[in-house]
Amino acid sequence: MKHGNRYPFYFVLGALILYLVFAIIPGITGIFYSFTDWSGYTDKINFVGLDNFKTIFSASENYLLFIKNTFIFTIITIILKTALGLALALILTEGVKRFAYFYRMMIYLPVVLPALAVALIFRSILNPATGFLNSTLRAIGLGVLAQKWLVNPHIALYSVIGVDTWQGVGYIMVILIAGLTSIPREYYEAAEVDGASFWPKLFWITLPMMMPAMIIVTVLNLLYALKVFDIVYALTNGGPGYVTDVIYTAVFQAFSQGQWGLGTAFSSLLFVFMSVVGYFVIRLMDRGQTRD
């Protein structure tokens, strides 16, 4: 029997149609709408060329700031989640044996919570006057470290980054634990015979062997961070002023204000950028698979 009959194409159709209708078609048509003055209020649509992109890249508007904020958020969360995730992964594989799974389960817990709920809880915890964080800092004599976490324009973005890292680090840790446990023990044993201590082993064995897992967590963090919305929207809604606004909070703003052409243009920039990133990631994975 031919493969086509055994593995019929209609099996793919359900997934493919949903994917085309709700992801690809909006993504592609969005690019075309980017060149129009599409508005939420009228049905009339006019071609306006590059006007929307000129607005986005104009220095007198805030869109460049939103892009900059998104990149700051992305880069710092990638660094923090990877570094802390790796530290926790090392503690739970090298440091402790008993209760390791229990610890892992607890540290992962925030990952499954709705980001919205996390943001609301942290609005209370980060309250400057009564919040749990500042109260605790004052109680242990570190009152000088107490901050107006979400209100001070100089640190608000970093507070949001902190909350997001708190929520997401467990996910990264779990993937890195899998990476760590797949490193053959013999490498460490050989190094120990040569008298290597913790740091040389970390730099000459663990980190090089962890490269595939590191690439995966970096990609996952990148894909998440560029699209971040919930946590920023519910923690600060972009404020104070615009200092914590990211691409997707600005997109929602454009949506609410009926600036659909502009919003589509902004979304399409990210769509094209991420298609390119996605393409290279897949190329990378494809090579990985053919190598096996």
Partner 1 sequence: MLAKSFKHVGAHLLAILACLTMVMPFYLIVTNSFKTKADASSMSAALPASVHLENFLTVISAGKLGTSFFNSMLYASGSTIIGTLFAAMAAFVLSRNRTRFNRFLYFFIILGIALPANYFTLTKVMQITTLINTRTGMILLYAAGQIPFGVFLMYGFLDTVPRELDEAAIMDGCGPLQLFFQIIVPMLTPVLVTAAVLSFLGAWSNFIMPLYYLNNTANWPMTLSVYNFFGQYQANWNLVSADILLTVLPVILVYFLAQRYILTGITAGAIKG
| Residue 125 or 146 with smaller CB distance to partner 1 | 125
Q: How far is the CB of 222 from partner 1 (least distance, A)?
A: 9
Q: How far is the CB of 58 from partner 1 (least distance, A)?
A: 21
| Residue 201 or 227 with smaller CB distance to partner 1 | 227
Distance CA 179, CA 174 (A): 9
| Residue 58 or 256 with smaller CB distance to partner 1 | 256
Q: How far is the CB of 273 from partner 1 (least distance, A)?
A: 9
| Residue 44 or 154 with smaller CB distance to partner 1 | 44
Which H helix or E strand runs over 218? helix 211-226
| Residue 15 or 59 with smaller CB distance to partner 1 | 15
The answer to whether the peptide bond before residue 26 is cis (omega within 30 degrees of 0) is: no
Q: How far is the CB of 118 from partner 1 (least distance, A)?
A: 7
Which H helix or E strand runs over 268? helix 260-291
Take residue 129 and report the two structure tokens written for it: 């006057």
Residue 92 CB: number of other CB atoms within 10 A?
22
Q: How far is the CB of 121 from partner 1 (least distance, A)?
A: 5
Is the four-CA dihedral 68, 74, 80, 82 of positive or negative sign? Answer: negative
